[in-house]
Amino acid sequence: MFFNRLMSLSCLGGDKAASTSSDCDCDEMVSNEPVILNIYDLVDINMYTMPLGLGVFHSGIQLYDTEYCYSGHSYSFTGIFEIQPCDGQATLGEHCRYRESVLLGYTHFSSEEVQRIVEQLGLLYTGHCYHLIRNNCNHFSNSLAKILCNRGIPRWVNRLAHFVACVPFLERCLDRQLTG
């Protein structure tokens, strides 16, 4: 399976000894396509909380003129979708305002290989598995970025969710607010 081949590459944390001679050596891989993290403000209060290193953000990974994002729905199929780069407001609504883009690195994967990777991730990031704190768009962006360029997203992008997850009382309060 394609995803298993990815995991055998030593640059992705796999065992180089287990790689076959037909696998590319990480040093020989050509880095050519930029991997960009696009970040969106979801609430206006971010302008006040950003100096504290906190905010409520949406993110997506852009490459090959496509931005890959993740969101929830009530079905068991993928929650991953594609949008025009930096155009979250048109797709996700007025509340989703573009903030900035961060170059994370470069990938050697072709556009077709990226599509297969996204399809495989779609098995993990299904719509009904979305959770605002434990499995959100930023978790997806981080996973995809690590596969594509072996680098995660900046920690501040998902810091609020991490903080809330570390304080069970806050997560319970938030869950009650969201579920009514």
Q: Which residues are catalytic?
A: 58, 137
Element (H, E) at 80: strand 80-83
**Distance between start and end Cα atoms, the chain:** 42
Q: What angle do CA 104, 107, 109 make, to 5 degrees?
A: 145
Task: Give the tokens for residue 106.
Answer: 């470069």
Query: Which of 91, 79, 85 minimizes the C-alpha distance to 66?
Result: 85
Q: Report the distance separating Cα 36 and Cα 67, nearest Å.
A: 9
- Neighbour-count burial for 60-99, b at 16+ CB within 10 Å, e otherwise: bbbbbebbbbbbbeeeeebbbbebebbebeeebeeebbeb
